Amino acid sequence: MKDIYQRKIDYLRLSLTDRCQLRCHYCMPDEGVEWTPLDQLLSFAEIKSIVQTFAELGVSKLKLTGGEPLLRPNIVTLISELKAIKGIEEVTLTTNGVQLAEMIDELVEAGLDGVNISLDTLDENRYTLLTRRNKLDAVLTGLERAIKSKIKQVKINCVLAEEINKDEILAIAQLAKNSRVHVRFIEYMPIGAPKPLTPISEEYVRQLLSQHYGPVKPYDIKLGNGPARYDEIAGFQGKIGFISAVSHHFCDTCNRVRITSDGFLKTCLYFNKGVDIKSAIKAGNLQECILEALQQKPKQHRFSSNDEYGSREKKSMVQIGG
């Protein structure tokens, strides 16, 4: 399926819940988030019907997100059912990693192809300040178990910002040297944070890495679903990726749409536009509704613009799914 700018859409990010055990500063406020009532979350039957319809339209890659997707009861069963849908080639998950250690084996058994673990700091105090919860040990154990498990791909998502982790870039990159993980440095996006953070450029990171580890060379083989650009460094087991949505926007190759946990189809992270997909299921016109929404997919986001565009997204990242 293609949008009006001829971009091929083959990747769906689906949020399973807007709840989370952590409270990362850049993603959500500590208090005051209104959770979606549980009975308004998409049911498994609705999720399967949505994924089936997207698969018929050409989507082959699915990312489960949240909130924290591992908090959704029976997610293991859901994954095996989604993997069985014709046309779905890859089901992956992005998680804070808190419950990963105890779940990784059954997730792999269910057919999960890859896991992205969010990890912005290796320092316990800093982690606790950033996420407002003391869970670093559990996350590191989850990461270790994922690396040792049979899962095909393990990635670390690290949001970089001056205020968070500028002095830890090398330590975090080192994880890709010592183990089979790809480390992706994500530029902070101005969604959800009460006060803006100062991004760190990928050029700065590359220079720092090359000073310490030698040449950092572009790695042209595709490693994931989306916009990350990867580099390789001799002696590293994993690659180093960059997702710089603001400074190096990749809108012209955007291949994705998103569905929130309460069933709102978003065609761009930045804008609040979209359609209520639950009503479409009830009305029996899901496919038409998706195709119509796709025609509205904007050409590009406006993160770097200072104007107050009327339909700028006001939801927190936790409510959207990242």
C-alpha to C-alpha distance for 86 and 9, rounded to whole angstroms: 17
C-alpha to C-alpha distance for 78 and 83, rounded to whole angstroms: 9
Supply the Cα-derived Rg of the chain in whole angstroms: 19
Q: What is the footprint of ligand SF4 within residues 91-110 (CB under 6 A)?
A: 96
C-alpha to C-alpha distance for 113 and 208, rounded to whole angstroms: 32
C-alpha to C-alpha distance for 277 and 36, rounded to whole angstroms: 16
| In the complex, minimum distance from the CB of residue 6 to ligand SF4, in angstroms, rounded to a whole number | 32
Token pair 């190096």 is at which residue? 248
| Residue 187 sits in the site that holds ligand SF4 (CB under 6 A) | no
- Name which position in 9, 12, 14, 20 contacts ligand SF4 (CB under 6 A): 20
Q: Which of 162, 179, 163, 169 is nearest to 210 (CA)?
A: 169
In sequence order, what are the residues at sequence separation of 6 or more whose Cβ sits closer than 8 angstroms to the Cβ of residue 39? none
Instruction: Give the x-and-dash track for 107-126 against ligand SF4 (CB under 6 A).
Output: -----------x--------
Instruction: Give the x-and-dash track for 24-63 against ligand SF4 (CB under 6 A).
Output: x--xx-----------------------------------
- Residue 23: contacted member of ligand SAM, ligand SF4, none (CB under 5 to 8 Å, by partner type): ligand SF4
C-alpha to C-alpha distance for 81 and 83, rounded to whole angstroms: 5
- Residue 65: contacted member of ligand SF4, ligand SAM, none (CB under 5 to 8 Å, by partner type): ligand SAM
In sequence order, what are the residues at sequence separation of 6 or more whose Cβ sits closer than 8 angstroms to the Cβ of residue 83? 91, 110, 111
Q: Which residue is at the shortest CB distance from ligand SAM?
A: 322
| In the complex, minimum distance from the CB of residue 313 to ligand SAM, in angstroms, rounded to a whole number | 11
Q: Is the CB of 68 or the CB of 90 nearer to ligand SF4?
A: 68
Q: Is the CB of 147 or the CB of 159 nearer to ligand SAM?
A: 159
| In the complex, minimum distance from the CB of residue 176 to ligand SAM, in angstroms, rounded to a whole number | 16
Phi then psi for 39, rounded to 5 degrees? Answer: -75, -5
| C-alpha to C-alpha distances, 172 to 149, 178, 255, 256, nearest whole angstrom | 21, 11, 28, 28
Three-state SS for 183-202 is EEEEECCCCCCCCCCCCCCH
- Residue 257: contacted member of ligand SF4, ligand SAM, none (CB under 5 to 8 Å, by partner type): none
- Residue 191: contacted member of ligand SAM, ligand SF4, none (CB under 5 to 8 Å, by partner type): ligand SAM
H helix count then E strand count, the chain: 11, 12
Which spans of this chain sit near ligand SAM (rule: CB under 6 A)? 20, 26-27, 65-66, 68, 94-96, 118, 157, 159, 186, 188-189, 191-193, 317-318, 321-322
Are residues 236 and 176 in contact, defined by beta-carbon separation less than 8 angstroms? yes
| Residue 139 sits in the site that holds ligand SF4 (CB under 6 A) | no
Q: Is the CB of 53 or the CB of 94 nearer to ligand SAM?
A: 94
| In the complex, minimum distance from the CB of residue 214 to ligand SAM, in angstroms, rounded to a whole number | 28
Binding residues for ligand SF4, rule: CB under 6 A, are 20, 22-24, 27-28, 66-68, 96, 118, 317-318
